[in-house]
Amino acid sequence: MSCVAAIFSFNNQKVQLQHIEAMTQAMRHRGPDDEGYVFFTRNGGAKCFGGKDTPSSAFGGARRYFPTETFAGNYPDEAVIALGQRRLATIDLSANGHQPMCTEDRRYWLAHDGTLYNYIELRAELEKLGEVFSTDSDTEVILKAYRRWNHDCLARFNGDWTILIYDTHTRQLFVSRDRFGVKPLYYYQDETQLLLSSEIKGLLAHPAVKTGPNLDYLKDYLESGAKEWLKETAFENIYRFPFAHYARFDLNSGKKHWTPQRYWKLEPNLSTEPFNPERAKEYAKQYYALLKDAVRLRLRCSVPVGCALSGGLDSSSIVYLVDECLKKDGAGNGVKTLSMVHTKNPATQYCDESVYIDKLVKQLDLVSYRNEPEPWAIPRLHKDSVYAFENPADGLGTGTTYLFRLAAEKNVKVTFDGQGGDEQLAGYFSYFRNYFYHLPIRLYFDEARRLESNTGLNNLSIRQLMYRSIYTLAKISPIRRVLKKAFSRDFDTPKPVNEALVQSIEKGLVTLVHYGDARSSSFSVESRLPFLDHRLVAFLANIPACYKIAMGWTKYLARLAFDGKLPDDITWRKDKMGWTQPLEYWLNDPLKKWKDELIANSLMLKTLKVAQMVKNPTIVMRRLTISVWEQVFHHKRKGIRLNAQYR
């Protein structure tokens, strides 16, 4: 994990180091181990600088990308382009991993955020083609892979990334984000320059950025929640670069725009084939092997690792595989697990999953670190979470924020997380509507009874039959209009399960992985997500839906894969929690006064013309977040700037 920043001047205006330095300094939490800057003149000349966090061993070294000095006001007078990078060192901890890094001829310069997990295999492939390497970093592999294969290198990458590569010969900037938007990238552009940054805070640190609250975005958030897959953000004139895309910005063309190109897209299997027990067993074996290899690749690091453990199937599966891989390598001496629990207050114990955590800890002899949120700490914690998220998010952000704080306290630099399993294996009950609508009627009631037994959802068959009838009737235009008026919503035909899952991956999951990246990076911790190995994602998208919701179980394929490995109470667990937080209790009991005063005094909510009386806890939570967002990103007359306490 790291951060990147870039400034490209359109009118030969001199780029100043203090501006790029301020941008990266605002994101220091993402990369406290190193910092580097390179300035380019119009003729392709480059000069490198370091900063206070640059290791002393990086200065004056033989490598052509090492800084020659710390900035002291003597950067090139004709510099019109600047790249900046901050590094959290997890692979090749030496100064050789310093960035921005260049090729031997100093033509290509790379600054990137994230990790290339299959860098060892790609390095071997490139060496067979004649490439020579002088470091042990994944950064050099990215650089040489781009030089060899151009943008086609992205198809070979297994990892999470934001990549900026500048070609001094063509004066083109190459930009890319990973397939699932794990690593962020934002940009701001006016008539004089293009600015890029891993976080919005980096852009706000540049004095030329003119922005304010994006009222349309904030209204949409209040109505329908966070949407981190959109181009627009909560800040006017600041945009997201799209995930699974690349683009080139040509400074020679005179055009001040780019056209991102998509390089990867999921194609779901919409087959309606019947369930086959033998095929299910074979799919389960393949699933297990792919997930285990995803874990193996992500264990490549030179710093302490830990695993988030909620007690659910997905996080338990990852912990099991990490333990198995480490023991195979002779390094299994008790995997460190990180959990959030609710044991102290009887009013919040319904959110506690300690009983499941205890079972796995005992079976695998794990090291279990635990933390429990205290209501008195939540106001400050929520404010810090809003600062980390930048765009208003759903929920308080307490769960994994506590987890990553715990990781930092225990000197865990890399965590493994179970995010992504539900969106690929239909783990949420909301997918029942898609499943039953497309299920043959002859299988309907038997499957509904089995699911009802395993989920505890009473009258599931009746409710789903009612939904199916409504959606079927909605195909008739006059009835559709009546239903829309009666329920204030449209009744589009539910998509097949696999199609709905792909939509969840490209929308809802993109939002969730941004939460994870923002929360982990705020504590200088790198979060790795084995479920988002693109090989596994493509495999599961191609598995017929009848193996995901089957035999009365959600996530059937995953349960079958870990049957006999994990405790049965976890593998065949019937309830669904997933870092559940006692929001209603907190906001209506110990934190009620704090919540009510913030919402009542919010000028932003008044600007958005929001009615004060509302009981829906989700909407109340969003209004609270808008009120805190207003405090953190203080709106002055000239635009948004960070509140003084966050500068």
pLDDT band at 441 (very low <50, low <70, confident <90, very high): confident
Closest listed residue to residue 546, CA positions, set 470, 434, 460, 465: 434
| pLDDT for 398 | 79
Instruction: Supply the mean pLDDT for the chain.
Output: 90
| pLDDT for 418 | 94
Averaged over 503-529, what is the pLDDT? 95
pLDDT higher at 382 or 579: 382
pLDDT higher at 576 or 93: 93
Find how far residue 10's CA is from the centre of its chain.
Answer: 32
What is the SS3 assignment for 558?
helix
Closest listed residue to residue 241, CA positions, set 567, 4, 537: 4
Averaged over 36-54, what is the pLDDT? 89
Asked if residue 528 has pLDDT above 60, the reply is yes
Same fold, 2-207+236-257 and 277-425+507-580: no
Please tell me the least confidently modeled range out of 94-108, 323-337, 450-464, 599-613: 450-464
Q: How far is CA 312 from each of CA 355, 559, 573, 585, rounded to the nearest angstrom?
A: 11, 11, 8, 23
Please tell me the least confidently modeled range out of 55-64, 99-108, 476-485: 476-485
Q: How far is CA 336 from each of CA 291, 341, 365, 398, 406, rounded to the nearest angstrom?
A: 20, 16, 10, 21, 11
Beta carbons of 5 and 117 less than 8 angstroms apart: no
Tell me the CATH class for 277-425+507-580: alpha beta
Which tens digits make up the pLDDT trace of 408-418?
A: 999 999 999 99
pLDDT band at 53 (very low <50, low <70, confident <90, very high): very high
Asked if residue 558 has pLDDT above 90, the reply is yes
| pLDDT for 459 | 77
| pLDDT for 449 | 85
Order of strands, sheet of 245-250, starting from the edge strand that comes earlier in the sequence: 101-102, 108-116, 159-167, 172-177, 245-250, 261-262
Q: What is the 3-state secondary structure (H, E, C) of 434-497?
A: HHHHCCCHHHHHHHHHHHHHHHCCCCHHHHHHHHHHHHHHCCCHHHHHHHHHHHCCCCCCCCCH
Instruction: Write the DSSP symbol of residue 547.
Output: G
Asked if residue 496 has pLDDT above 50, the reply is yes
Asked if residue 474 has pLDDT above 80, the reply is no
| pLDDT for 73 | 54
Phi and psi at 176, nearest 5°, equal -155, 150
What totals of helices (H) and strands (E) does the chain contain, helices first? 24, 21
Asked if residue 637 has pLDDT above 60, the reply is no
| pLDDT for 72 | 61
| pLDDT for 74 | 55
Give CATH for domain 2-207+236-257: 3.60.20.10
What is the token pair recorded at 570? 């976890």
| pLDDT for 599 | 92
pLDDT band at 647 (very low <50, low <70, confident <90, very high): very low
| pLDDT for 328 | 85
| pLDDT for 333 | 72
d(Cα 505, Cα 511) in Å, to the nearest integer? Answer: 9
Asked if residue 642 has pLDDT above 70, the reply is no
| pLDDT for 135 | 94
Which tens digits make up the pLDDT trace of 150-167?
A: 999 999 999 999 999 999
| pLDDT for 334 | 78
Beta carbons of 193 and 208 less than 8 angstroms apart: yes
d(Cα 123, Cα 586) in Å, to the nearest integer? Answer: 51
pLDDT higher at 61 or 236: 236
Beta carbons of 288 and 562 less than 8 angstroms apart: yes
pLDDT band at 341 (very low <50, low <70, confident <90, very high): very high
Beta carbons of 61 and 88 less than 8 angstroms apart: no
pLDDT band at 126 (very low <50, low <70, confident <90, very high): very high
Averaged over 423-438, what is the pLDDT? 89
Please tell me the least confidently modeled range out of 133-142, 255-264, 271-280: 255-264
Instruction: Write the DSSP symbol of residue 241.
Output: P
Say what percent of the chain tops pLDDT 70. 92
What are the structural domain ranges in the chain? 2-207+236-257, 277-425+507-580, 439-493, 591-646
For residues 154, 160, 166, 169, the Cα torsion angle rounded to the nearest 10 degrees is -20
DSSP string spanning 122-162? HHHHHHHTT----S--HHHHHHHHHHHHGGGGGGG--EEEE
Averaged over 306-318, what is the pLDDT? 95
| pLDDT for 487 | 63
